[in-house]
Amino acid sequence: MFLKRLVLVNFRNLEDLSWNPHRGINIITGDNAQGKTNLLEAINFCTSGASFRTSREREMVRQGADFLKINSLMEKNGSQYEISVEMAKDSKLEFKLNGLKQVKNKLFQPGMSVSFTPSDLDLVRGNPAGRRRWMDAELCCFEARYIYNMQNYNRVLTQKNNLLREKIKTSGYNEILETFNTQLADYGSRIIHARLSQLGRLSSMLKNVYRDITSGKEDIYFKYFSSIPLVDKLNLNAIKKSFLDTMMEKNSEEKFKRQSLVGPHRDDLNFFVNNMDARHFCSRGQQRSIVLALKISVINVYRLEYGEYPVLLMDDVLLELDESRQAGMTGLFELPLQVFITSTALPENFPADYRAVKITNGQLT
Ligand SMILES: Nc1ncnc2c1ncn2[C@@H]1O[C@H](COP(=O)(O)OP(=O)(O)O)[C@@H](O)[C@H]1O
Ligand SMILES: [Mg+2]
């Protein structure tokens, strides 16, 4: 996927911007609050239909303006197409493909861009919820019906937790709980199954990428920790049965604690470098290398899935990676991959050719 042209009108502080980015690495420099992240957000929007900053789309309209326009020319697997997005005052976003109105869900496929932002840098040492979000949003997004299963799982989970918080005397309590458990086992086992199969696919890729980044000095592996026993990890029915059995076992404890205690919403993914738990034993730099290796591996997974690399968006993370880690990206930068990197300063000894633009007060110079 390549972005060939981008025209923005009233996109946050980017009042009127027109740009033909380079096919390879684009470094966007500028002082703080000039519009670097806004520019990446606009690219993210026209490759995914979503913002990595907000779900309140109206925020993207420039303050004081009454409409927003994004027009982009993309190239995918050799063909070009134009995506435009418009939002007039008080009305919804409108999407067009080659000038014809199109519903958002038909226009965007998951995995057309990968973003790497400062909040990702905490993925390894941060809380389990962040790692689950990563698995859901980035690793499993293109698995058939994954998002559908997640939405349904979360809906039933909320209903079950509401019930557990109510008095046990509620009429039909046990029957309702059993129905919720059956539904949770159905959706939840599919979620766990999808996570495990995507992780299985990622595993050897991550090992190789991480070894490259660390010049062969360090080995990595990960483990999926589940709140239910997983004996036959690739068998959906076995996962479902184990999930149901565990909920039955924990039935009294769940009633006592008044919350749901098992399922994919309680699971975690942990990384081990040279056999040590990366959360506790790795330096900040090593933890960043793991995240970098994960991003590179995901890019490769998308390539296998779609036959083409996604666009890579790196917001303010370049200077957080020291020179040896930047050098570890050389292999990545040799791929036919379009990259957008924001940074307050140009990096020294950057390991590949790039084209730089500067943004000042919403204008490219
Ligand atoms: N809807 C909006 N209308 C006008 N300006 C906005 C809007 N949303 C954000 N901004 C402004 O855009 C500026 C640049 O933001 P950003 O792209 O995050 O800067 P940076 O270059 O540091 O990444 C900020 O000063 C912010 O106030
Ligand atoms: Mg920024």
What domain range includes position 51? 2-109+311-364
Question: Which of 8, 10, 13, 51 has most ligand 1 atoms within 8 Å of CB, for mutation?
Answer: 13
Same-domain pairing of 64 and 21: yes
**CATH number of the domain within which 86 lies:** 3.40.50.300
Residue 19, token pair as written in the block: 């740009």
**CA 36 to centroid of ligand 2, rounded, Å:** 5
Same-domain pairing of 140 and 35: no
Same-domain pairing of 134 and 245: yes
CB 238 within 8 A of CB 144: no
Is 35 annotated as ligand-binding?
yes
Pocket of ligand 1 (CB under 6 A): 12-13, 30, 32-38, 59, 61-63
**CA 53 to centroid of ligand 2, rounded, Å:** 11
Q: CA torsion, points 275, 280, 283, 284, in degrees to nearest 10?
A: 130
Same-domain pairing of 99 and 134: no
Same-domain pairing of 195 and 72: no
Report the pLDDT value the prediction gives residue 28, as an integer from 0 to 100: 98
**CA 77 to centroid of ligand 1, rounded, Å:** 33
Residue 109: closest CA among 150, 81, 130, 132: 81
Query: Has residue 50 been placed in a domain?
Result: yes
Residues β-bridged to residue 18 = 7
Question: Residue 114's CB: how many other CB atoms inside 10 A?
Answer: 23
Q: How many domains does the chain have?
A: 2
Is 307 annotated as ligand-binding?
no
Same-domain pairing of 134 and 274: yes
The mean pLDDT values, 10 residues at a time, for the chain of 365 residues are 98 98 97 97 94 90 95 95 92 94 91 92 94 94 90 97 82 91 98 96 94 90 96 92 97 94 98 96 91 94 92 92 84 92 92 95 95
Query: Has residue 166 been placed in a domain?
Result: yes
The dihedral sign for the CA sequence 51, 53, 54, 58: negative
Same-domain pairing of 263 and 352: no
Long-range contacts of 280-287 (CB under 8 A, 24+ apart): 282/124, 285/322, 285/325, 286/218, 287/121, 287/123, 287/124, 287/125
Report the pLDDT value the prediction gives residue 171, as an integer from 0 to 100: 79
Same-domain pairing of 163 and 59: no
Question: Residue 204's CB: how many other CB atoms inside 10 A?
Answer: 11
